[in-house]
């Protein structure tokens, strides 16, 4: 199983806590996002390009594929994967 497979199922990885929308990711990439504490159709995996979120997708692969389609919803909570220090 590779990193991409793990990202599609966050229960298999250690995830960071949820960050509030005002605190944006430092690194460009795909993050698990949500609009709030209750489930919303716009929850899912989003690509962060360093400035704006792309639209939420059901998988990490889809989020990478659609990374050039900006989301109309930029007020997102987000979390990432905890990686061991190298």
pLDDT recorded at residue 5: 43
Give pLDDT, residue 81.
Answer: 85
DSSP 9-47: -GGGS-BPPPBPTTS--SS-EEEEEESSSS--TT-EEEE
Neighbour tally for 7: CB within 10 Å: 22
Residue 59, beta-bridge partner list: none
Residues 33, 49: contact at Cβ < 8 Å? no
Question: Kind and range of the H or E element at 77?
Answer: strand 77-79
Q: What is the pLDDT along the chain (86 residues), one digit of tens a residue?
A: 344 444 455 556 788 999 999 999 999 999 999 987 666 666 889 999 999 999 999 998 999 999 999 999 899 999 998 876 66
């Amino acid at each position: 199983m590779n990193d991409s497979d793990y990202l599609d199922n966050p229960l298999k990885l250690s995830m960071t806590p949820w960050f509030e929308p005002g605190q944006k990711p430092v690194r460009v990439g795909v993050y698990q996002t949500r609009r709030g504490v209750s489930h919303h159709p716009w929850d899912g995996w989003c690509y962060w390009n360093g400035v704006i979120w792309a639209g939420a997708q059901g998988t990490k692969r889809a989020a990478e594929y659609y990374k050039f389609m900006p989301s109309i919803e930029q007020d997102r909570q987000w979390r990432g994967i905890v990686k061991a220090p190298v």
